[in-house]
Structures are given as C-alpha cells and as structure tokens.
Amino acid sequence: MIQDEFVFASHFEGEYETQWQAPSNIALVKYWGKHGEQLPRNPSLSFTLTKCVTTTSVNFSPKQGREMNFDFLFDKIKQPYFRPKIEQFLDRITPYFPVLAEHHLSISSHNSFPHSSGIASSASAMAALALCIVDFEKQHHPNWSEEALLQKSSFLARLGSGSAARSIAGPMMVWGESTAFLGSSDLYAIVPENEWHPIFQNFQDTVLIVDKGQKKVSSTLGHGIMNGHPFAAQRFEQANRNIAALKNALNTGDLDQFIDITEGEAMSLHALMMTSQPRFMLMQPQTVAIIQKIWDFRAESQLPLCFTLDAGANVHLLYPKQDCISVMDFIKNELCSFCQNGEYIEDQVGNGPQKM
Ligand code: DP6
C-alpha cells in the first residue's frame, strides 16, 4: 500500500550533486520483528552515534535511453555485493519520488569504520543515501519545513533498512508507535521532544570488536523468526513497557533503571534468537566473558557502566563521559584481550547527519 502523503511527483530535468554523512545508531530498546513493507512490530529507541558514519555522494543526471538506474562505488571501487540491496531500496522508494525513474544515480560511499568490523553499516548507509535523495527532492520543493524533511528522510531510510529510520537526527530517535511518545509512528522515526537528563549528553559507546566476521544471520531471516515465535506476543509487550520505562530513566537520569532496561533488552534479543526456529547463538565465549567482567566491575566500582548487543558478538559499552578515565583503564587492562586483535572503537552520542 502506498502512503499517499509521502508521494511527491514533479517533472524535473537537469543534474544535481550532493553529499551527506550519516551516523550509525545503537538501539537501547530493540527493533526485532517486522511486517508489511518495513513496519516494526514494536517501538524502538536508539542513541545516534558520532564517529561510525557513512559518507555518500550522489550525482543525479537525466537518464539516457536504456541506461541502468544507478552505479555504485564503495571506497571508489565497484562493489556488486551491495547492488541488490540498493536496487531493492530504489524500487521501494521510486513510487514516493517518481522523478527518480527518469534519472541515473551515480552513488559513491565510504564508511569511517572497516566494513569487516562486525559493525552493521546498513543504518548509516541507507540513511546517508536517503538524505541525498531527499536533498535532491527538496530542490523541487523549496518550502519544505525541517520537520517535513526529517520525516521524509526517515520514511525513505526505513524502506532501505528499518534501523536506518533512526539515523536521521540526534541525539536519540524513536521509531514505531508508542503511547509513551507523542507523534511516534511506524512510518518514520521522530526525535522525542522530552527533556533529557544532562548525564546522557555525550554518553559514551565503546564498541568492543569480538568478531570482525560477517553476521551469521541476515536481518531478513532474523526479523522473520519473530513470525510465529512462541514468545512473540510477550516480547512486543515487553518492548512497549521498556520504552516507557526508559523514557523515565532518560528524563530523570536514573542510571540504575537505564542499566536494567538496556541490558535486559540486549539479553531479550539474544534469548529470542536462541529460542526461535531456526535457533541462533550469536554470542561468543568472549562476549559472555566480557559481560561477566562488566558485572563484576560495576559491583566493585559502583560506576554506571553497562552493555548492549546487536545481532552479533560485539559488545557496546555504555557509560557517562565523566567516567571515561576509569572505564578506559578497565577496557585496556581487562577487556581488550577478549577483542579480535585487541580492537575497539570509541564512539559517543551525537547530533546526527551533516550535509558535506
Ligand atoms: C538487532 O535494521 O538491520 O540491530 O530492517 O531488515 O534492514 P532491516 O533490519 P535492521 O535490524 C536491526 C536489528 C537490531 C536492533 C535495532 O537496531 O533496533
């Protein structure tokens, strides 16, 4: 079904070139399970990151005859591996911006983090591409408000990858209808209007690289396992409860509550994978060892360090900026040895994409 309010048709000819940088994001309440055309089964909330970014430039030129729709360079090299995902994305979004069908897109992308770091790049990549396309669309639509731009960018990004809907602004975004967040929608992510406690400003996310390899479960398969999952109904209820409680923690600065929800969400995500048909075990022995170490460190130091996980073995360490020195010592002395080649990436909550 086409969402009419997002269709923008006009006749436009000429060339346009733009470049955007979009960050990755880390979900605290997880999106796991989808239906229809990229619609979430439950609301999710994420911190927008700063350093893990994709930079994408697009040159739009009028299509000549039977020319292909697009060409794609990753790190200046043709990468056939990414083509199907981009093709699917362009097919999905063209009804919302039919002018695209008359243009050839020369797309060139670069990630600030290595492709083989085990860090999912689909959120930042699809967000950067969506922003380039909406920037082009804006040239035909000069009176667009900031809010309309944000909505359309998130709406398009969602059609590329669900989590990309949440990489359109900072410092945090909510995607999926939730009674706790006014204006929230399944169609696009919003920046919640609430006041956030200053402790979350520049909140740190240090990503411990446990496994640089490719994900062992594709996101399509991963979300698919929620159809008919024995715990699906309870899980969607849990996410709704957690996002409301997390709003309170973010508002009041209650770090005990923040930790409880964030770690609980990571564990639920992995528990869902372990109890689905087929079953997946994406944690590795190092992941479990790191989690134990974090719990011991927290008990001893009383510092509010916690973790979250994506659909993979890497561990995201979350903590306030003011605890940087103690946590970095802990990482270097006790956690680094569990990382592949001792690698980790230091990132933090940020303000969202930038036009270059
Ligand atoms: C575990 O956004 O990668 O990271 O919509 O199929 O592209 P698609 O899925 P994707 O799923 C992300 C799942 C997650 C949790 C999250 O980011 O909320």
Q: pLDDT above 90 covers what percent of the chain?
A: 81
Q: Per residue in 263-314, pLDDT tens?
A: 999 999 999 999 999 999 999 999 999 999 999 999 999 999 999 999 999 9
**Average pLDDT for 77-93:** 92
DSSP 156-190: HHHHH-GGGGGSSSSSEEEES--TTSTT--SSSEE
The pLDDT assigned to 214 comes to 59
The verdict on the CB of residue 44 being under 6 Å from ligand 1 is: yes
Please check whether residue 44 is in contact with residue 167, taking contact to mean a CB–CB distance below 8 angstroms. Answer: no
Tokens of 157: 């990004």
- Which ligand 1 atom is the nearest neighbour of the CA of 164? 2
Q: How far is the CA of 123 from the centre of ligand 1 (A)?
A: 8
Give the bridge partners for 108, in sequence order. Answer: 57, 73
Q: What's the pTM?
A: 0.95
Find out whether the beta carbon of 220 lies less than 6 Å from any atom of ligand 1: yes
Judge whether residue 189 has pLDDT over 90: yes
| Least confident window among 46-60, 169-183, 206-220 | 206-220
Q: Is 118 helix (H, G, I), strand (E, B) or coil?
A: coil
Looking at residue 2, its pLDDT comes to: 65
Q: Which two tokens stand for residue 176?
A: 């999926």
Q: How far is the centre of ligand 1, averaged over its atoms, from the C-alpha of 34 (Å)?
A: 10
The residue among 289, 286, 321 whose CA lies nearest residue 305 is: 321
Looking at the predicted structure, is the pLDDT value of residue 132 above 70? yes
**Is any ligand 1 atom within 6 A of the Cβ of residue 86?**
no
In b/e form, how buried is each residue of 61-75, taking b as 16+ CB within 10 angstroms?
eeeeeeeeebebebe
Does residue 162 line the site of ligand 1, with CB under 6 A?
yes
d(C-alpha 125, C-alpha 120), whole Å: 9
Closest ligand 1 atom to Cα of 223: 6
Atom of ligand 1 at shortest range from CA of 220: 6
Our answer on whether the CB atom of 219 is closer than 6 Å to any ligand 1 atom is: yes
pLDDT score at 335: 98
Q: What distance in Å separates the CA atoms of residue 269 and residue 263, rounded to the nearest whole number? A: 10
Supply the pLDDT for residue 118: 64
338 C-alpha vs ligand 1 centroid, how far in Å? 25
Is the pLDDT at 142 greater than 80? The verdict is no
pLDDT of residue 1: 61
Does pLDDT of 95 surpass 70? Answer: yes
Beta strand residue intervals within the chain, DSSP E: 16-29, 34-35, 39-40, 44-62, 70-74, 77-78, 103-111, 172-175, 189-190, 204-208, 306-309, 315-319, 344-348, 354-355
Percent of the chain with pLDDT over 70: 94
| pLDDT tens digits for range 98-127 | 888 889 999 999 999 876 666 778 999 999
| Nearest CA, atom 5, ligand 1 | 162
Q: Does 7 have pLDDT greater than 90? A: no
Q: What is the mean pLDDT of the chain?
A: 93
CA 267-270-275 angle, to 5 degrees, is: 120
